């Protein structure tokens, strides 16, 4: 289906379905952009976390039992 055909099909939908379609499209775009930004941030920080032990010092106790004192 071409872009022109798609736009004509959308124009023939009732307003509520057109709004629903737009909301879903925007949500999809935002989700993809958020995932892309998180991936870029993780890639940028990978070197720091790999080489700076102060950033990961508490991971050494990740598997120790934790008991809450009340």
Percent of the chain at pLDDT > 70 equals 93
60: tokens are 């050494």
pTM over 0.95: no
Give pLDDT tens digits for 22-52: 999 999 999 999 999 999 999 988 888 888 8
19: tokens are 């709004």
Beta carbons of 69 and 62 less than 8 angstroms apart: no
2: tokens are 């071409």
- On average, the pLDDT of the chain sits at 88
Compare 39 and 69 and report the one with higher pLDDT. Answer: 39
């Amino acid at each position: 289906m071409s872009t022109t055909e798609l736009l004509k099909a959308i124009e023939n939908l009732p307003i509520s379905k057109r709004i629903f379609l737009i909301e879903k499209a925007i949500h999809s775009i935002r989700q993809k952009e958020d995932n892309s930004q998180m991936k870029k941030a993780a890639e940028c920080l990978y070197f720091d976390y790999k080489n700076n032990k102060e950033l990961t010092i508490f991971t050494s106790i990740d598997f120790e039992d934790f008991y809450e004192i009340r």
